[in-house]
Structure 1
Amino acid sequence: MRIAVAGATGAIGQPLIPMLLAAGHEVTGFTRRPEKAAELKRLGMRAVVLDALDRDSVFAAVREAEPETVIHQLTSLGERDFGSNSRIRIEGTRNLVDAALAAGARRMIAQSICWAYAPGEGPASEEEPLDLDAPPPRSATIQGVHALESAAADMPEAVILRYGLFYGPGTWYARDGFMADQARLGALPATDGTASFVHVDDAARAALLALDWPSGAVNIADDRPAPGSEWLPYYAALLGAPAPERQPGAARGERGADNAKARRLGWQPRYADWRDGFAATLG
């Protein structure tokens, strides 16, 4: 299959590209960083330096790639630029979808998040609504997610991967990542808010499998949603960081996600429990 991967050198793109090539697909990778394009080429694939917000460039790149499927893994989260990330979700996704449609692509697999659901009891399933009534500042995140998912749904076939919090190489939760630094500073309170995690390798494997999944949203998270009062002390201890301060309460929407649908579709995470994944990547 001819596949274009937008965000090919990001935290998910890096493990995903070798999986796609090993499966025999013809892959074109889009990246914002010229120095990363050389790495993609060394893997034996086409690489294009591309700004997703440059609509004309996106159309030209997708037209040349002639993909049957576009995998959208674009973010600006590595730089913690939330304004840019919102623009990518809204404008970048619109550009990518319109270019894919113009080039005759049928399928899009798009990166979304699983903590955008409306408040409720227990881990959220895909049938539950997004938190479209959220107040600021959460509303900016939800609006970006809604725009991304709505644009992707304009494709003839669209699989929306609502990922849990990424951990593993190249993420905020890596030993050299932002959250690890915050934990060492004692700046992360252990709250009652529930989170769902997913290792980047398991997230990438879901994107590979999604090439054959039916259209719709799918939560990609491990089996064990956990409150901050449980996962954060464990994480801090692995880092050698001080025990976090306990802070009762939870932020809106911190309820975790149910991964039953992904498992029915055949996804089996290597790290079904964040404790095992944290120990393997940080221990």
Structure 2
Amino acid sequence: MKVFITGAAGYIGGSIAAGLVKAGHQVVGLVRQPEQIEELKKIGVDGVVGTLDDRDLLIAQARSADAVINAASSDNRAAVEAIIEGLSGSGKVFLHTSGSSIVGDASGGLGTDRIYHEDQLPEPTPDKAARVAIDKLVLAAAGERIRSAVLCNTLIYGHGALPRDSVQLPRLLKQARKSGIVRHVGPGLNIWSNVHIDDVVDLYLLALEKTEAGAFYFVENGEASFRDMTAAMARALGMGEAQDWPLEQAREEWGYEMASYGLGSNSRVRGQRARGQLGWTPRRPSVLEWIAGDMLNHATATRHADI
């Protein structure tokens, strides 16, 4: 297949693009900078320079491709509308990347027993209402003869195909190296479901071939509290015990969105649909095993994808 992917120079998009090439697909990737075209060539991807605001470009690329994957932003409605216009009536696949902070509770590091399933989603908080509306727009595109699906990723860990960082754990690592103290938001009892980047790539490849129109998938393979993850990080770094960090101080370091949702909320979900409908079988190490054994093995550039 010829696949057009946005965010091809990012952590998630670059990893998916490399996986598509290895699987035998032809991949065209949207990048923002001309110099990124050479980087993509090294993983077998043809680059096209543009942004998510280039409506005509997105429509044209969608029409010329056999499938489209949006891995650039979960929050750009105009880009999604352009892709849907380009695919309307075609029967082609459109995979949209969302993030499980849509069920985040901004608890300030407190825990919860609440677990969400794909057919039992809560009303979003005001902070996440716009993202959820985009997810619904993608799902509704099934009515326009598009095999559209939303892949809602949880906390992603692991080293990607390009030298880029994931969103959450690298921020904790950077802060620890800067200050000499590993910290979590509040008491760190908040729990996030999580998944290895290589298992994420496997799922996108399966969804590209097998997804039903209008499907929503949580992408997860286990869960861990931030207290447990920072404890593992402290041991890997040879530092003292991880410490509580008041939410207000965490916001000063990471900003409102990241401190409140990315690092200070609960996001506990179960992804049964990918396993049952697509035959997805995640098989990489757990997040705690990865932190202990592989987190420090690769130096990555500081660049972040959307959660």
Q: Which of the five TM-score ranges fits, normalised by the shorter chain?
A: 0.7 to 0.9
Distance 2:167 2:293 in 1: 13
Query: TM-score, normalised to structure 2's length?
Result: 0.74
Q: Which of 150, 153, 172 is 2:136 aligned to?
A: 150
Superposed, which structure 2 residues align to 1:127-206 within 5 Å? Answer: 127-132=119-124, 134=125, 139-140=126-127, 142-153=128-139, 154-155=141-142, 156-169=146-159, 170-172=164-166, 177-184=170-177, 185=179, 186=181, 187-189=183-185, 190-206=187-203
Shift of 1:123: 2.7
Shift of 1:117: 2.4
- Tell me the SS of whatever aligns to 1:16: helix
Preserved CA contact (<8 Å) 2:102 2:132:
no
Q: Distance in 2 between matches of 1:174 and 1:122?
A: 21
C-alpha distance in 2, partners of 1:237/1:229?
12
1:1-32 CA-partner distances (Å, limit 9, x unpaired): 22111111211222222221222222211112
Q: Distance in 1 between matches of 2:173 and 2:104?
A: 28
Higher relative contact order (CA 8 A, sep 6+): 2
Structure 2 CA distance for aligned equivalents of residues 235 and 9 of structure 1 = 27
Structure 1: gaps spanning 5 or more residues: 76-84
TM-score (normalised: structure 1): 0.80
CA distance in 1, matches of 2:45, 2:229: 39
Return the offset for 1:48. 0.7
In the alignment, structure 1 residue 218 sits paired with structure 2 residue 205: no
Alignment partner, residue 109 of structure 2: none
Long gaps (5+) in structure 2: 106-111, 248-259, 297-307
- Cα distance in 2 for residues equivalent to 1:160 and 1:5: 14
Is the Cα contact below 8 Å between 1:191 and 1:229 reproduced in 2?
Answer: yes
Q: 1:256 aligns to what?
A: 268
1:117 to 103, 106, 110: 103
RMSD over aligned Cα, in angstroms? Answer: 2.8
Deviations 1:34-73 (A, max 9, x none): 211122234444321120112123223334xx11211110
- Could you tell me which residue of structure 1 aligns to residue 236 of structure 2? 238
User: Which residue does the alignment assign to 2:11?
Assistant: 11
2:282 is equivalent to residue 269 of structure 1: yes
Equivalents in 2 of 1:271, 1:4: separation in Å? 27
Structure 2 counterpart of 1:196, one-letter code: S
Indicate if the aligned counterparts of 2:184 and 2:244 stay in contact, CA closer than 8 A. Answer: no
Closer/same/farther in 2, CA of residues 8 and 231 from structure 1, 3 Å limit: same
Q: Letter of the aligned partner of 2:101 in structure 1?
A: W
**Identity rate, percent:** 23
1:232 CA drift (Å): 2.0
3-state SS in 1 of match to 2:20: helix
Q: Which amino acid aligns with 1:254?
A: N
Contact 2:199 2:282 in 1 (8 A): yes
Aligned residues: 261
Partners of 1:269 and 1:94 lie apart in 2 by 32
Residues 125 and 253 of structure 1: is their aligned pair in 2 closer, same or farther, counting only changes over 3 Å? farther
* Alignment-derived partner of residue 79 in structure 1: none
Q: Whole-Å Cα distance in 1 between the matches of residues 121 and 167 of structure 2? A: 28
**Does structure 2 conserve the Cα–Cα contact (< 8 Å) formed by 1:174 and 1:180?**
no
Q: Write the letter of the residue equivalent to 2:48.
A: V
